[in-house]
Structure 1
């Protein structure tokens, strides 16, 4: 299953989490995930992909 979220470097030490399905910056709790530090972006993209995979697997089981 492909990851839904990826990192895009905007400037030195500034990252955006991108929804690879839409090409748009990801939004979490009404916050657009742009201008993040390397560490925060790395951690968040892993968490978001894990949650998305779990959500899609759950949806597949219901189908």
Structure 2
């Protein structure tokens, strides 16, 4: 990866690729059938802590 920001780069090859096998599943695929299991962040996500101790009202706003 070069540090030149004006040269177009293919984002598919710009970052390291994990060594995982190709998988075939009928569409739509199921995450529970994938090996290794995908990480959607439900348990691994760590917040920044900027809102710790605060409260918020979350509304539908656009509905």
Range into which the TM-score falls when normalised by the shorter chain: under 0.3
Q: Which has the larger radius of gyration?
A: 2
Q: Hey, which of these two has a bigger chunk of helix by percent?
A: 1
Q: Hey, which of these two has a bigger chunk of strand by percent?
A: 1
TM normalised by structure 2 equals: 0.24
